[in-house]
Amino acid sequence: MSTRRSFLAGSTLACSLAALPAFARSGAAHLADDALTLWYDQAAGPWIEALPLGNGRLGTMVFGRPAQERLQFNIDTLYGGGPYVPDNPKFREALPEVRRLIDQQRWKEANELVSKALMGTPMKQMPFSGAGDLLLDFPGLKGVERYRRSLDLDSAIALTSFFDGSARHQREAFCSAADQVTVIRLEIVGEGVIDLDLGYRHADYQPYGGFGDTKYDAHGVVYVGAPWDHRESLNAEKRSASLAIRADGGDALLIEGRNVQAFGIPGQLRYALRVQAVGDGQIEASGDQLRVRGARRLTLLVAGETSYVNYRDTSGDPVAAVRQRTTAAARKPFAQLRDDHVKAHRALFRRLHIDLGGQEANARPTNARIQGVPRQPDAALTAMYVQYARYLLMSSSRPGSQPANLQGVWNEVLHPPWEGKYTININTEMNYWPAGPANLGECLEPLVKMVEDLAVTGARTARDSYGARGWMAHHNTDLWRATAPIDGPLWGMWPTGGAWLCTTLWQQFQYQPDPALLRRLVPLLNGATQFFLDTLVEDPQGRGLVTSPSLSPENEHHAGVALCAGPAMDRQILRDLFDATLAALQRLGASDASFSDAVRKARERLPADRIGAQGQLQEWLEDWDAGAADQRHRHVSHLYAVYPSEQVNVRDTPELAQAARVTLNARGDESTGWATAWRLALWTRLGDGERAYKILQGLLGPARTYPNMFDAHPPFQIDGNFGGAAAILDMMVQSWGGEIHLLAALPQAWPQGRLHGVRAHGGVEVDIDWQQGKLARLQLRGPAGAQVALRYRGKRLALKLDAQGRARVMPASFGGAA
């Protein structure tokens, strides 16, 4: 038994107006109202109503339940299996025959041979797994009134408050990047005390199905479960045999487990969670429970870790790590833990401010606002959607962590949809679309590190499977950096995943051109380019150099057939890859004349984009679009050239841009969550703000946004949040073609607003205000003396930043454009 009185009472972090950025000082109500707060008047029922916290490594979902709080955890390296080599040893010998069958359009035989000899072994990759739940039972509660739960994006703190009689309960939770722990602070004001029984539940307590949709009726949300006294069983009988829970000192509980075997690969990771309690009551850890009685203030510190060292090494000591982190955090007063967390969060979060008006809608619960779209347009919800995506990226991708996967760092179950891994034929790349423009360049670091790993494992695949130099990856990877094709010939036989990751890094580099990052990118670009110099083949009809075998993700050009040679997306990605390689070498001053010449010659021989008989941008070398199996397919892979690339644009290639519009009209505006976000980005880049706004309403509404604002594929995939946010920013400020395009796709629904701190190419930050749909104020910050080209309403303005790297531009500078 132990009693701890070392913590001070928590208090709201003081923040003077003088310490705020200029945009906050000019409208202090920005922090006083709910413009940056998700809030609800009822506890979460299903997982898609819980609120996410994260520090990159650790993810926590907070349900806000009064009588039995549920805290669900994830550790960024807790995947199934262990180090493995999936490359099929039959691949290299079978490759020439596969190419011959594709050239002869003998699709059935090609499919069969690819399935037999080219697919990885196993044909699936390892799943991202949940780390279980802490269930906090409060036996003394009698009733609940005046309930509210919220997530403040500006402080990254989840708050639950309610009254039980005359006693006011307040519970704060945050996931600290500074201290690498999740902190849960419980306080009671008035009569009464906090009595708590805490236990752990393994992630296999329920079958897949935790992502079910919340239903709506004419009166609002119909919640499933979660009345104020909602309780869930610990289900001890279902715990994994490898799980051990025990007291770890008088005030701490230690959970140790092992990851699962997956697709025949033995589980090789150990993991640990440790929860330490600090407070003014009686605290006792006994057996597999933590018991607290008579507390007025209580702090729970939770750390999680695995034995993962890198994709080849699982020899780490997770128990030592979680003990060190919780013990160190316990030495700090709660106020310092909170202040250090908020300071680290705001150092990134407060770089960007967006205001589109409509703040009166903030008075309604977030779930009701989502349910009302598009019947009740909500500009303030759009602005919060951008900031929520920035919050999610900061929470799931920080230096030292793994990159954001299909679910960021949040997943409820042992085996999530699509294994929750990294799908690199769009989804992983989309996760990082907002990193540059949303002024979160640091969040790119985990992706750079993953690509550096893939350059090693992908070199093995290039050598053993293709007989090529350099490196490559197919359409998926996982914690163990697998690069072999998986899932079968309809999805997996796509060789351009590594190349797209490279062009993503290069595109994001444009927003924050750091010389240190450039030095890391050059070998990645060179290696990816070298692979295609060795593997591109002659098109039998003399149309140039093509990839083979390949496909246009994840579409079929004939029923049951995706395999092909030289799809449009491959050619577009390779043009960007080759251009980036040449530009990076030149910028670094390390150009190899013979290598650069080979790259230029290969680029020239890539077949150009084509316009088909329907006036559409062709998805394949052949004009197969009209006969494709799915006319409204979720993927629009061949429009990569429009966005995120800039090869096809309204200024330089108007005919191809019109063909892209024809394709988009044929595909339709409604699709899965991430595919809706991509359509939004495409119409935005094509300059059609009204069409983009219409699609945005579909993305924000209940069909594609869950009550906690997670993107609904369905089920949950985080890429839609990130892609949607990048597209919204693009409606106001775009960077392409060597110019910064201002208000290029601004819809009439946002007649006035401001966007401050958005990044553009060249490392330039933009503050832009508009009134009545017209530019009202523009300020730029960037490298001293930088040359900047602006475009607004067809007018181009070239200027130079001053010695302090600043410029203020008057609307009249654009002539009659304003």
Spatial contact of 321 and 350, defined as CB atoms under 8 Å apart: no
The full DSSP string for 628-693 is -S-TT-S--GGGTTTTTS-SS-TTT-HHHHHHHHHHHHHH-S---HHHHHHHHHHHHHTT-HHHHH
Helix H or strand E segment including 607:
none
Whether 117 and 202 share a structural domain: no
Question: Which stretch of 18-22, 111-115, 393-397, 511-515 has the lowest confidence by average pLDDT?
Answer: 18-22
Domain boundary among 317, 350, 383: 350
pLDDT higher than 60, residue 707: yes
Q: Residue 786 is part of which domain span?
A: 753-817
Whether 423 and 563 share a structural domain: yes
Residue corresponding to tokens 């799915």: 630
Give a yes or no: residue 715 inside a domain. Answer: no
Give a yes or no: residue 781 inside a domain. Answer: yes
Helix (H/G/I), strand (E/B), else coil: 232: coil
pLDDT of 361-417, one tens digit each? Answer: 999 999 999 999 999 999 999 999 999 999 999 999 999 999 999 999 999 999 999
Helix (H/G/I), strand (E/B), else coil: 125: coil
pLDDT of 517-534, one tens digit each? Answer: 999 999 999 999 999 999
Please give the tally of structural domains in the chain. Answer: 3
What is the rounded average pLDDT of the residues 550-577? 96
CA atoms within 13 A on the CB side of 749: 22
- Phi then psi dihedrals of residue 357, to 5 deg: 85, -170
- C-alpha 181/C-alpha 400 separation (Å) is 15
Residues contacting 125, CB < 8 A, separation 6+: 86, 263, 419, 421, 476, 477, 478, 480, 482, 486
- Give CA separation, 284 vs 192, 288, 425, in Å: 20, 11, 50
Looking at residue 352, its amino acid is: L
Spatial contact of 171 and 159, defined as CB atoms under 8 Å apart: yes
Whether 109 and 30 share a structural domain: no
Least Cα distance to 69 among 191, 193, 156, 158 occurs for 158
pLDDT of 173-190, one tens digit each? Answer: 999 999 999 999 999 999
What is the rounded average pLDDT of the residues 643-672? 97
Residue corresponding to tokens 């403040």: 152
Strands 157-164 and 145-152, sheet pairing:
antiparallel
Question: Which stretch of 135-149, 204-218, 285-299, 786-800 has the lowest confidence by average pLDDT?
Answer: 204-218
Cβ burial of 166 (10 Å; 0-12, 13-18, 19+) is: exposed
- Phi then psi dihedrals of residue 135, to 5 deg: -110, 120
- Give CA separation, 625 vs 152, 614, 631, in Å: 47, 9, 8
Least Cα distance to 31 among 44, 20, 45, 18 occurs for 20
Distance of CA 636 to the CA centre of its chain: 20
pLDDT of 495-520, one tens digit each? Answer: 999 999 999 999 999 999 999 999 99
Whether 64 and 116 share a structural domain: no
pLDDT of 412-470, one tens digit each? Answer: 999 999 999 999 999 999 999 999 999 999 999 999 999 999 999 999 999 999 999 99
Distance of CA 258 to the CA centre of its chain: 27
Whether 114 and 228 share a structural domain: no
Give the pLDDT confidence score for residue 627 in this predicted structure.
78
3-state secondary structure 389-422: HHHHHHHHCCCCCCCCECCECCCCCCCCHHHHCE
Q: Which two tokens stand for residue 126?
A: 């390892």
Domain boundary among 303, 334, 350: 350
Give a yes or no: residue 665 inside a domain. Answer: no
Average pLDDT score over the chain = 92
- C-alpha 296/C-alpha 186 separation (Å) is 8
Q: Which two tokens stand for residue 48?
A: 């898609």
For the chain, the straight-line distance linking the first and the last C-alpha, in angstroms and rounded, comes to 72
Give a yes or no: residue 410 inside a domain. Answer: no
Whether 200 and 250 share a structural domain: yes
Count other Cβ atoms within 10 Å, centred on residue 804: 9
pLDDT higher than 70, residue 9: no
Give a yes or no: residue 41 inside a domain. Answer: yes
- Phi then psi dihedrals of residue 42, to 5 deg: -150, 150
Give a yes or no: residue 678 inside a domain. Answer: no
Angle at 132 between CA 449 and CA 151, to 5 degrees: 75
What is the rounded average pLDDT of the residues 60-65? 97
**Residue 418, phi-psi category: left (phi > 0), alpha (psi -120 to 50), beta (remainder):** left
- C-alpha 328/C-alpha 178 separation (Å) is 11
Give the pLDDT confidence score for residue 817 in this predicted structure.
65
CATH number for 466 = 1.50.10.10
pLDDT higher than 80, residue 595: yes
Give the pLDDT confidence score for residue 222 in this predicted structure.
40
The full DSSP string for 352-381 is -EEE-S-GGGGGS-HHHHHHHTTTS--HHH
Give the pLDDT confidence score for residue 140 in this predicted structure.
83
Give the pLDDT confidence score for residue 2 in this predicted structure.
36
Helix (H/G/I), strand (E/B), else coil: 432: coil
State the angle between helix axes of 497-509 and 445-461 in degrees (0 to 180), rounded to the nearest 10.
Answer: 150
Reported confidence tier of residue 29, pLDDT bands at 50, 70, 90: very low
Whether 425 and 513 share a structural domain: yes
CA atoms within 13 A on the CB side of 119: 19
CATH number for 36 = 2.70.98.50
Domain boundary among 350, 383, 406: 350
- C-alpha 320/C-alpha 457 separation (Å) is 30
- Phi then psi dihedrals of residue 489, to 5 deg: -70, -15
Least Cα distance to 491 among 565, 553, 427 occurs for 553
Angle at 64 between CA 63 and CA 69, to 5 degrees: 80
Sheet of strand 774-781, all strands in order from the earlier edge strand to the far edge: 353-355, 753-760, 764-771, 774-781, 806-809
- C-alpha 470/C-alpha 529 separation (Å) is 7
Helix H or strand E segment including 456:
helix 445-461
Give a yes or no: residue 301 inside a domain. Answer: yes
Least Cα distance to 467 among 18, 86, 92 occurs for 92
- C-alpha 409/C-alpha 393 separation (Å) is 10
Whether 35 and 105 share a structural domain: no
Give a yes or no: residue 620 inside a domain. Answer: no
- C-alpha 228/C-alpha 65 separation (Å) is 7
Give the pLDDT confidence score for residue 714 in this predicted structure.
93
Count how many residues are written for the chain: 818
- C-alpha 622/C-alpha 613 separation (Å) is 11
Predicted structure pTM score: 0.94
Spatial contact of 486 and 492, defined as CB atoms under 8 Å apart: yes
Whether 113 and 176 share a structural domain: no
Percentage of residues in the chain having pLDDT higher than 70: 91
Q: Which two tokens stand for residue 153?
A: 């994006």
- C-alpha 711/C-alpha 389 separation (Å) is 10
Whether 99 and 196 share a structural domain: no
Whether 164 and 99 share a structural domain: no
Whether 40 and 108 share a structural domain: no
The full DSSP string for 76-95 is TT-BSS-S-----TTHHHHH
